[in-house]
Homo-oligomer: A and B are copies of this chain.
């Protein structure tokens, strides 16, 4: 199964529509996309209207029986909308009430099980179904982690444009080969904003039972096989390691 986002494609659609992305910084300093209705529309246009059909068509050309889905399809991923919260937007402190983003509250993997059983490869992405109806933006890495857990997947390979978690983000040679999830805080300290979300999502999947969780480089040839062969940063439960 493939899980993807589409933030860069959404930013291009947004630029064409004269709606550049905006970000909000929460009290804890966490920065996230400010997804008002116009921005959620842009995200959907980029992810569902551009990235996904191109990805599915390309995979089909390679002989994969790819089927595109979002969290809305078959009630796959439901999210609860974020409560109004104080945040800084464009340098101004405001109470954000119109952010159409949320946290994943439940996953119903039935549609994935049906398609996988039929020999298809689901190509899945946000948005999620809002618990109160409509669609909500959710983080794609958390989305991938939640699906891996719901499917009892053996592997979750999170690909990005770095070799994995780096002890020094400016030194690609400083790869952290292993993160014990019980010592997560030490490792979060070295991760920047975007990587923090990936590390948290990966750690959650590991804690929730996905046996092999790897954060690896998506820019190399055969990135998934390379990650499975040992590249990147692996997430391990301390007691699993002791037991083996």
A-to-B contact residues, CB < 8 Å = 13, 16-17, 41, 44-50, 52-54, 56-58, 60-61, 65-70, 72-75, 110-111, 114-115, 117-118, 120, 127, 129-130, 133-135
* Given known A-B contacts A69-B67, A72-B68, A114-B120, A45 and B50 have beta carbons under 8 A apart: yes
Look across to chain B and name the residue whose beta carbon is closest to the beta carbon of A110.
Answer: B118
How many angstroms from the CA of A130 to the CA of B56 in the assembled complex?
Answer: 12
B57 engages A49 (CB within 8 Å): no
How many angstroms from the CA of A13 to the CA of B16 in the assembled complex?
Answer: 11
How many angstroms from the CA of A98 to the CA of B101 in the assembled complex?
Answer: 39
Look across to chain B and name the residue whose beta carbon is closest to the beta carbon of A60.
Answer: B75
Assembly of this chain: how many copies?
2
Residues in B whose Cβ lies below 8 Å from that of A73: 56, 66-68
> What are 30 A-B interface contacts by the 8 Å CB criterion?
A16-B17, A41-B49, A41-B50, A44-B50, A44-B53, A45-B50, A48-B48, A48-B49, A48-B52, A49-B49, A49-B50, A53-B72, A54-B135, A56-B72, A56-B73, A57-B72, A57-B134, A57-B135, A60-B72, A67-B73, A68-B69, A68-B72, A68-B73, A110-B118, A111-B115, A111-B120, A114-B114, A114-B115, A114-B117, A114-B120
Residues in B whose Cβ lies below 8 Å from that of A130: 57
Look across to chain B and name the residue whose beta carbon is closest to the beta carbon of A123.
Answer: B73
CB distance from A131 to the nearest CB of B (A): 11
* Given known A-B contacts A73-B67, A114-B118, A53 and B48 have beta carbons under 8 A apart: yes
CB distance from A189 to the nearest CB of B (A): 38
Look across to chain B and name the residue whose beta carbon is closest to the beta carbon of A68.
Answer: B73
How many angstroms from the CA of A44 to the CA of B16 in the assembled complex?
Answer: 15
How many angstroms from the CA of A111 to the CA of B115 in the assembled complex?
Answer: 8
A49 engages B60 (CB within 8 Å): no
Look across to chain B and name the residue whose beta carbon is closest to the beta carbon of A121.
Answer: B74
